[in-house]
Amino acid sequence: MLSENNYGVWTVKMKIFMRAQGVWPAVVCKEAVDEKMDQMALAAIVQAVPGAVVMTISKKETAKEA
């Protein structure tokens, strides 16, 4: 879970997790990605952030935006 003091470790963990799930391209690719991949990546992000952040990123349409 992301907190005020663990952003560096959180980003490494998210990158590893998202690569393992096959959704990392949704975050880093410049071209459009498959909708399902994008939504799975967005779901992974939402599961790993506190509720206050969820409300902020709920307005984003893609994992890259989040």
Convert the pLDDT of each residue in 10-48 to its tens digit: 999 999 999 999 999 999 998 888 999 999 999 999 999
One DSSP character per residue, 5-31 reads T-HHHHHHHHHHHHHHHT-THHHH-SS
Supply the angle between the helices 35-47 and 7-21 in degrees, to the nearest 10.
140
Convert the pLDDT of each residue in 47-64 to its tens digit: 999 999 999 999 998 999
Nearest residue to 43 (alpha-carbon basis) of 25, 18, 20, 19: 18
pLDDT at 5 over 90: yes
Instruction: For residue 20, give both structure tokens.
Output: 């393992």
Taking residues 1-9, report their average pLDDT.
94
pTM of the prediction? 0.86
